[in-house]
Structure 1
Amino acid sequence: MLTVHALEAAYGASQALFGVSFDIRDGEVVTLMGRNGMGKTTTVRAIMGQLPLRGGRVEFDGRPISGLPPEKVARLGFGLVPEGRQIFPTLTVRENLVATAAHRLKTPNPWTLNRIYELFPRLNERARQMAGTLSGGEQQMLAVGRALMTNPRLLILDEATEGLAPVIRAEIWHVVERLKAEGQSILLIDKTFSVLKRLADRHFILEKGRTVWSGSSADLVNDHDRVQAWVGV
C-alpha cells in the first residue's frame, strides 16, 4: 500500500530526515517508534506533502506521490490524526465531523455520523457543543472521528494517546483494536510499548532521522535491549 524509501527532508537549511524507509501493507498496523525529536512527525509531514523532500520517494498503491500538495495526498485515501489534535475549536462537534466527510473510495460500510457516535458515544452527547470547550480526551476522540469520516484507506495516528488520562487512553486503544479487526490499515506513532507490541504487526524505529531497526512484534521482544536503547522504554 504505502512505500517510503530513503526519505530525506529539511526545515530550511536544517536537515531532519537522512534516509527513512518503511512500508505498510493493506490491512496492517505498523508503528514508527523512537525518542522525541528523531523524525517521526517530520516523516508524516513529508508523506502528507506538508514538507518538501530533498531525496527519496513515497509511493501509494505503486503510484509516486512525492511532491503532491497535501490536499491531493489526502484525497488518495489518507486520514491523519495529527500531533496536537488540531480540531476546529469554533465549530461544534458535529460540524467538525461533517466538515471533512467524504466517501471517495466507495467502501461497503462507510463511516457516517451514526457510526462515529456509536464508536464514541461521548461525541454524540456533545454533538452541539463547541469543540474548543471539550476536554483533551474528548478532543482526541473528535480528531480520530474526524479522520475516520474521510473514510481513509490509511489512518495515521500521531501520538494519539499522549497526555491523556489512563481511562481515555484505554478507550482510544480499544477503538484502534476494533479498527484493526475491521481491516483498517493504520500507521501508529506512539510510545506505549506494552500496547504496541501486542497490537501492531510490524515496527520501525527511527534514530536521528534514519530507520535503524525493523521487525515483527516477536522480534521487538527478542531484541529488547537494542530496542530499549533506541526507544528509551
Structure 2
Amino acid sequence: MLTVEGLESAYGDSRILFGIDLSVAKGEVVTLLGRNGMGKTTTVKSIFGLLKPRAGRILIDGEDMAGRPSHLVARRGLGLVPEGRQVFPTLSVEENLIATHRGGRGAKWSLEAVYRLFPRLKERRRNGGDQLSGGEQQMLAIGRALMTNPRLVVLDEATEGLAPLIREEIWACLRAIKDEGEAILVIDKNVDALARFADRHVVIEKGRVVWTGTSTALREAPEVKDRFLHV
C-alpha cells in the first residue's frame, strides 16, 4: 500500500534523510525505530507532505505522492496521529472527532465505532480537548485519525510520556485496530511492546536504514537494540 524509495529530505541546508526505503502492505503493522534525532519524524512529515522531499518516491497504491499537499495524501487513505497529539483545545471531544470525519460507502469508523474502541472518550465527549489527561488526548488523537477512515494509520510517538497502564491500553487498542484490518506504521520507544504485535521493523540511524526484519528476528538480535535503540 505504501512504498517509500530513496527518500531524501532536509531542513534548509541541513540534510536529515539519506535514502530511506520502507514499505507497509495492506493490514500490516510496521515500526520505524531509532534514537531521538535520527529522522523518524522527518520521514513522517515527508510522507504526509508537511516537508517536501529533495529526492525519492512516496508511492501510495503505486501513485507517487512525493511533495503533494497533505490533504491529497489524506484523501489517498493515510491518517496521522502526530507527535504531541495536537488535539483542538477549544473543541469538545465529540467536536474534535466530527471535525475530521470522512465517511462514504463501506466506511467502518464512525463516532459510535470510536466510542466502542475508547469508552472513556464517550464519557468525556462534552469536555474540551484541553481538559483531558495526556492518555485521553492520545486516545482522541487516534480516534480523530480513524474518523478519516484511513487504510493506513501512522502514529508518531504512540505512547510518549504516558503512564505504564495507559500505554498498555493504547497497545491493546492498536491491536484491535490491526484486527480490523488496518495497516499501521508506528514510531515509539517501547520496543518490547511493539515486538509483541508488529509484523516488521525498520531501524534508522542518522537518516539511513540500518536494519529491517521481523519481530522474531528483532528479539533474536539484541545487538540491534544495544547499538541503535538504547540511549
Question: Shared topology, TM-score over 0.5?
Answer: yes
Match of 1:75 in 2: 75
Is 1:171 the equivalent of 2:144? Answer: no
Is 1:186 the equivalent of 2:184? Answer: yes
Match of 1:35 in 2: 35
What SS does the corresponding residue of 1:59 show, helix, strand or coil?
A: strand
- Structure-2 separation of matches of 1:213 and 1:6: 15
**What amino acid is aligned across from residue 34 of structure 1 in structure 2?**
G
Unaligned runs of 5+ in 2: none
Match of 1:126 in 2: 124
In the alignment, is the contact (CA less than 8 A) between 2:115 and 2:122 conserved in 1? yes
What SS does the corresponding residue of 2:54 show, helix, strand or coil?
A: strand
Q: How much has 1:119 moved relative to structure 2?
A: 0.9
**What amino acid is aligned across from residue 194 of structure 2 in structure 1?**
L
- Matched residues, number: 231
Q: How much has 1:228 moved relative to structure 2?
A: 2.2
Is 1:212 the equivalent of 2:205? Answer: no
What SS does the corresponding residue of 1:58 show, helix, strand or coil?
A: strand
Q: How much has 1:226 moved relative to structure 2?
A: 2.7
- Structure-2 separation of matches of 1:218 and 1:137: 29
- Structure-2 separation of matches of 1:62 and 1:191: 30
What SS does the corresponding residue of 1:94 show, helix, strand or coil?
A: helix
- Structure-1 separation of matches of 2:113 and 2:179: 16
Q: TM-score, normalised by structure 2?
A: 0.97
Match of 2:92 in 1: 92
Q: Any idea what the Cα deviations from partners look like across 1:136-187, whole Å, max 9, x if unmatched?
A: 1111110000000001000001111010011111110000011111211000
- Structure-2 separation of matches of 1:127 and 1:222: 44
- Structure-2 separation of matches of 1:101 and 1:121: 18
- Structure-1 separation of matches of 2:7 and 2:85: 25
What is the identity percentage for the equivalent residue pairs of Structure 1 and Structure 2?
Answer: 57
- Structure-1 separation of matches of 2:27 and 2:74: 18
Q: Any idea what the Cα deviations from partners look like across 1:182-201, whole Å, max 9, x if unmatched?
A: 21100010111111111100
Unaligned runs of 5+ in 1: none
Q: Any idea what the Cα deviations from partners look like across 1:71-127, whole Å, max 9, x if unmatched?
A: 1111111110000000000000000000010025x33x5111111111111111111
